[in-house]
């Protein structure tokens, strides 16, 4: 099995990177959608209904499939390269787990907005929009530089 994965390493890596890009794009878009959603209309309005559908589609069409493929291909890459024994990978895995938790939190917040609950202010949502960018910086440094 490991030999088969090693032969397909470049394809796994290319697929992993492509789906990371899709996932990150969705993680940047969804909190911004939340800001616009909360500013655009009151719960139950036509604008509210449109934003609920946009958020649902973003999660269903881009974010959920992307996170699944990222994890599957990422684990396949880790197995094929023996990354589980390397310190940089443990740190990367920690940040990817945190980013996955953030993804789950965003999905939960989308459900709250769909129910008319507006727990966070636009300013807080704008700040939360920086989370994927910071995570990406740390993850890329860990993967490229491999400081430990």
| Residue 103 annotated in ligand binding | no
Distance CA 83, CA 62 (A): 27
Taking residue 69's Cβ as centre, other Cβ atoms within 10 Å add up to: 17
Structure tokens at 107: 């999905």
| Residue 90 annotated in ligand binding | no
- The string of DSSP codes covering 1-42 is -HHHHHHTHHHHHHHHHHHHHHHHHHHHHHHHHHHHHHHH--
Known binding residues are 16, 92
Known binding-site residue numbers for heme: 16, 92
């Amino acid at each position: 099995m490991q030999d088969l994965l090693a032969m397909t390493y470049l394809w796994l890596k290319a697929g992993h990177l492509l789906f990371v890009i899709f996932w990150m794009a969705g993680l940047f878009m969804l909190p911004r959608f939340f800001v616009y959603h909360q500013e655009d209309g009151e719960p139950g309005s036509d604008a509210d209904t449109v934003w609920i559908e946009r958020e649902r589609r973003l999660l269903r069409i881009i974010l959920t499939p992307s996170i699944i493929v990222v994890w599957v291909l990422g684990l396949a890459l880790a197995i094929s390269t023996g990354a589980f024994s390397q310190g940089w990978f443990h740190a990367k895995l920690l940040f990817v787990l945190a980013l996955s938790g953030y993804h789950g939190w965003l999905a939960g917040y989308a459900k709250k907005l769909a129910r008319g609950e507006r727990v966070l202010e636009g300013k807080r949502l704008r700040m939360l929009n920086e989370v994927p960018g910071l995570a990406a910086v740390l993850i890329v440094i860990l993967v490229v530089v491999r400081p430990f």
